[in-house]
Amino acid sequence: MNASTFALAIALSVSVSFKLSLQASGHVPWLRYVHRFGSIHETVILRNYRTLAILRTRKFCRISETMDNVVKEELPAGSDTDSKQEEDVKVPMNLKEDAKESDEGSDVEEIGNFQIAEVAIELDENLKSKLTQDLSAICSLDGPTARKMLETHKWNMQRAIDSFFDANSDDDENNESTDSVMSATTPVSKTFPAVVTLDDVASPGADCKKEKEVESEKRNSGGDRSSFSSWAPEKLSVISWNLDGLDDKNLEKRTDAVIEIILKENHDIVFFQELLPYTFDYIGRRLCSKYMPIPGTDNPQCEYLTGTFLKLNHVHYDDHYIIPYPNTAMQRNLLVTKAFIGKAKIALLNTHLESTAEFGEQRKMQLKNCFEVAMSFPPDYNVLFGGDLNLRDKEVIGLLPGSMSDLWVKCGSRDSCKYTWDLTRNTNKQMPSRFQPRCRFDRFYFRNSNPPTLVPEFFGVTGIEKVLQTQSFPSDHWAIIAFFRLSKEARKPEAKKRKMEECATTSTN
């Protein structure tokens, strides 16, 4: 396929039948499609509206000035559409003229180095009901309100969600203008989720401090009481996972599988390593109703990064910053996030240390730096340090502080969860020999606060099943998980607020 040839693919939802039309009426909802240079790829199939997030972050070519060379290709093998719906997608002749008009700027939106055109899709009542239910769940709206909002935005889910959160953000921030509810550059409201994109990433500065002061004043004055006045959860769960983003084999399906596991297991804190910028953005959009994403970079042009996600209304964000490693040859750094759950303060240190045996000395220096940062926090902080540390046991000797513990060891040293990069069980990577190595690369180290507020109870692994319709696991690493129990004192709300709750309960009765 030469450079002047583009592929147009529109995949129809399994449960809903779409019908192409070209501006049949002014109120027909719009769904975006894109043309990608080369062969059709899984990520250009519009399975549902959620897929649009990843489409916007891929590097697509510009739309052809003439549509004469647009071709139809069959859907890739293994796509999750019904066989009945794998019919030829016919491009009406009028589309050529519409595309030319779009190139003049009427219906084409340019984002970065690619453009998005629009084609009208007729939605049936079943899809409208599904969209209404999804918006109701995401925004905690009743059915009629959600439907009215979707109708207002011509059934564009993303615009409806953005409109809802922008409206709430305006109310809570005294009508200050913001482009998104959540920004990686500033502490955000702990009640409203949104999306972080790497284009907006920067290190915290003066504006960040001002926003933190506003949040502190709101809490001290009783604002946002619903998030801070009730008892904190009894359990806290953490997961850390290297997603192997540099391997593009089944990357989108593997990423979707990771998201499903995160949502199913409902962890409070998520550490990711080896994220590509567009997968960070995609995961952030998919999890925006439940998690606050924090990117581990201040460089939007980075090759890959780490990311920490905090469960909204459970783990409350306080601050974050990035510490670069001076000796890194692989763009590695330490992402530090300060947060709290109930009265328990937590310092979260997420990192991806230098890889391979030949960089062992650099890795040991990076590990030493991480332990020094961990020990620099005041005694009232719990410190959880973890990620893909690429460690060999001998590299830790003499470096581990006495007050920090290896959670795998602390929780029983079970053989079933010892090796997190295990090529004898995980076939995503294989060595060209009969010998297949296995290593304990992924680890959690923990320092308890004084007085203790978190008690480690369990360490294990997850993500050990293959992704459906593939021969791949979600990653070449197993994910590590840890569960903690909060002390009763840490779970209690502040006495003043607790008394207010009791008074409110009495007056209601």
pLDDT for the residue numbered 133: 83
CA dihedral 32, 45, 184, 291 (to 10 degrees): 110
Q: What is the token pair recorded at 368?
A: 């030493």
Q: Does domain 233-491 have CATH number 3.60.10.10?
A: yes
Q: What is the token pair recorded at 108?
A: 């084409």
Phi, psi of 447 (to 5 degrees): -120, 125
pLDDT for the residue numbered 60: 33
CATH number assigned to the domain covering 125-181: 1.10.8
Phi, psi of 379 (to 5 degrees): -60, -25
Q: Give the span between the Cα atoms of 312 and 81, in whole angstroms.
A: 33
List the one residue out of 205, 161, 152 whose CA is nearest residue 180.
Answer: 161
pLDDT for the residue numbered 142: 84
Contacts 24+ apart (CB under 8 A), 415-421: 416/460, 416/461, 417/459, 417/460, 417/461, 417/478, 417/480, 419/478, 420/461, 420/477, 420/478, 420/480, 421/476, 421/477, 421/478
Q: Are 346 and 384 in contact (CB under 8 A)?
A: yes
What is the full per-residue pLDDT of the chain (509 aa) written as tens digits?
A: 444 444 434 443 433 333 333 333 333 232 333 333 333 333 333 333 333 333 333 333 333 333 333 333 333 444 444 443 334 433 344 433 444 443 444 333 333 333 333 333 456 777 788 788 888 877 778 888 888 888 888 787 777 887 777 666 555 444 443 333 333 333 333 332 334 455 544 333 334 444 444 444 444 444 443 445 589 999 999 999 999 999 999 999 999 999 999 999 999 999 999 999 999 999 999 999 999 999 999 998 899 999 999 999 999 999 999 999 999 999 999 999 999 999 999 999 999 999 999 999 999 999 999 999 999 999 999 999 999 999 999 999 999 999 999 999 999 999 999 999 999 999 999 998 889 999 999 999 999 999 999 999 999 999 999 999 999 999 999 999 999 999 999 999 876 555 555 555 555 55
pTM: 0.59
For the chain, the structural domain boundaries read 6-122, 125-181, 233-491
Write down the residue that tokens 């084609």 correspond to: 119
pLDDT for the residue numbered 131: 83
Write down the residue that tokens 């899709």 correspond to: 121
